[in-house]
């Protein structure tokens, strides 16, 4: 790959920085998850309901408001489509995990769509800043271990 290409916001973190992992097919899963969240959320609708939503990472906003159904209300989801929207949101949140190791494969995503909503759990919320500092600490620890054995 000669450089990062694609729509900003849909590009997986590891494409921007190898700190987050290796670019793989799971990078495409991230993009797919962002697309699912955009389909459910349609940022135009969310921005009209929530102040400063453009200043917050979109998946974090959805994650924070999903449990109270606020995200679906803000996205104008009708009662007929609530179950589909909830399933798409949960799968999207799984797909946009910051670290690729926590994302499902595309086969796993397809299997999630076949499951009932009750079988899908809420993914862990990952924080960019915490993950970067953990990664830096791990790298520094590894460097110290190597230098002590030399």
- Which CATH number is 44's domain given? 1.10.510.10
Place 71 in a pLDDT band, splitting at 50, 70 and 90. low
Say if 72 falls within a structural domain: yes
Look at the alpha carbons of 6, 7, 13, 19 in this order and tell me if their dihedral is positive or negative. Answer: positive
Say if 53 falls within a structural domain: yes
Distance CA 127, CA 29 (A): 19
pLDDT of residue 139: 55
Say if 97 falls within a structural domain: yes
Say if 150 falls within a structural domain: no
**Based on the structure, what is the number of domains in the chain?**
1
Sequence-distant (6+) residues with CB within 8 A of 26 are 12, 100, 103, 105
Say if 40 falls within a structural domain: yes
Say if 143 falls within a structural domain: no
Mean pLDDT of 67-85: 67
Domain span at 83: 13-123
pTM of the model: 0.70
Say if 1 falls within a structural domain: no
pLDDT at 65 over 90: no
Q: Any idea which of 46-50, 52-56, 114-118, 132-136 has the lowest mean pLDDT?
A: 46-50
Say if 69 falls within a structural domain: yes
């Amino acid at each position: 790959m000669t450089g990062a290409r694609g729509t900003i916001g849909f590009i997986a973190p590891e494409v921007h920085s190898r700190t987050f992992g290796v670019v793989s097919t799971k990078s495409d899963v991230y993009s797919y998850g962002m697309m699912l969240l955009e389909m459910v959320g349609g940022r135009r609708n969310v921005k009209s309901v929530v102040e400063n939503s453009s200043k917050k990472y979109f998946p974090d906003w959805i994650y924070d408001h999903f449990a109270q159904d606020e995200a679906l209300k803000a996205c104008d989801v009708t009662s007929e489509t609530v179950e589909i929207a909830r399933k798409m949101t949960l799968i999207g949140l799984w797909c946009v995990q910051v670290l690729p190791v926590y994302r499902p494969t595309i086969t796993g995503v397809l299997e999630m769509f076949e499951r009932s909503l009750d079988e899908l759990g809420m993914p862990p919320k990952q924080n960019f800043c915490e993950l970067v500092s953990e990664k830096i600490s791990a790298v520094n620890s590894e460097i110290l271990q190597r230098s002590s054995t030399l």
